[in-house]
Amino acid sequence: MIAAALAAQGQPIPTTPLQLITASDTVTQVVLAFLAVLSAISWTIIFAKWIEYRRVMRAGKEFVHDFERAHSLEDAARLAAKGKPNPFTRVFMRAQTFLSATTPALAATSERGGRLSAAQVEALRQVLDSQTDAERDALGRYLTALATIGSVSPLVGLLGTVLGVISAFLGITQSGSGNIGAVAPGVAQALTATALALAVAIPAVFGYNIFANRLNGIDGELEGFGSELIALLVREGRI
């Protein structure tokens, strides 16, 4: 039906999506261009986060696996220095810096070495939590942008569609005809904004949900690693 309407007006019938876009009015093309920019940003974030999370999870898994076999804090420090930097090694280094700068409140005796007090252990836990939060914030960078693109792009596409439909109906006034031939071309072109908006939003929403789930998993593993670190200090008699 739309093809017949275009032919009746003497306009070339678009046979490809590109031809439909190039035949659109200026307003629709501006909206489509904006959506194309959002799509480029979205896919850039998706690929960058996929590479980052894959690298972090691989390096973190290797370090945690070796850390579980460490017999002392010194052994764990050597593993952290030897491995690739990752959130787990940075959490460990932060804890090691705290322990190096803290004098045990419970003095050493002939039977045992110096031990941290309950207040010092609580301070250590806060240090671990602070570094964990910092790592989570770093890994979650740009995810908000991905969520924003996923929620805003359909509205932008709807705006382009509405403006295109308005332009199409204004064509009735210019042509003096109310048949479908006067409005169908503009409506068909305007609907391309909605189609492209959905093409932008769907991958962005999927990507955000996947990465948010992985981020929650890494955050839980970092918290568990902090508990393992404190358990190592208990086995060494430092707590």
The listed range with the strongest mean pLDDT (13-22, 165-174, 206-215) is 206-215
63 token code pair: 């370090």
Sign of the four-CA dihedral 38, 40, 46, 52: negative
pLDDT digits (tens, 9 = 90+) for 202-214: 999 999 999 999 9
To the nearest whole percent, how much of the chain has pLDDT over 70? 80
Mean pLDDT rounded to a whole number for the chain: 83
Q: Would you call 203 helix, strand, or coil by DSSP?
A: helix
Number of H helices, E strands in the chain: 8, 0
To the nearest whole percent, how much of the chain has pLDDT over 90? 44
Rounded to an integer, the average pLDDT of 55-80 is 89
Residue type, 38: L
Q: What is the pTM of this model?
A: 0.80
Q: pLDDT category, 2, cuts 50, 70, 90?
A: very low
Q: pLDDT category, 112, cuts 50, 70, 90?
A: low
Evaluate if residue 18 carries a pLDDT over 60.
yes
CB 11: neighbour CB atoms within 10 A?
12
Evaluate if residue 6 carries a pLDDT over 50.
no
Per-residue pLDDT, 104: 79
Please state, in angstroms and rounded to a whole number, the distance separating the CA atoms of residues 157 and 146: 17
Please state, in angstroms and rounded to a whole number, the distance separating the CA atoms of residues 144 and 133: 16
- The residue that leads in pLDDT, 45 or 187, is 45
Task: Give 112: exposed, middle or buried? Use CB within 10 Å, 0-12, 13-18, 19+.
Answer: exposed
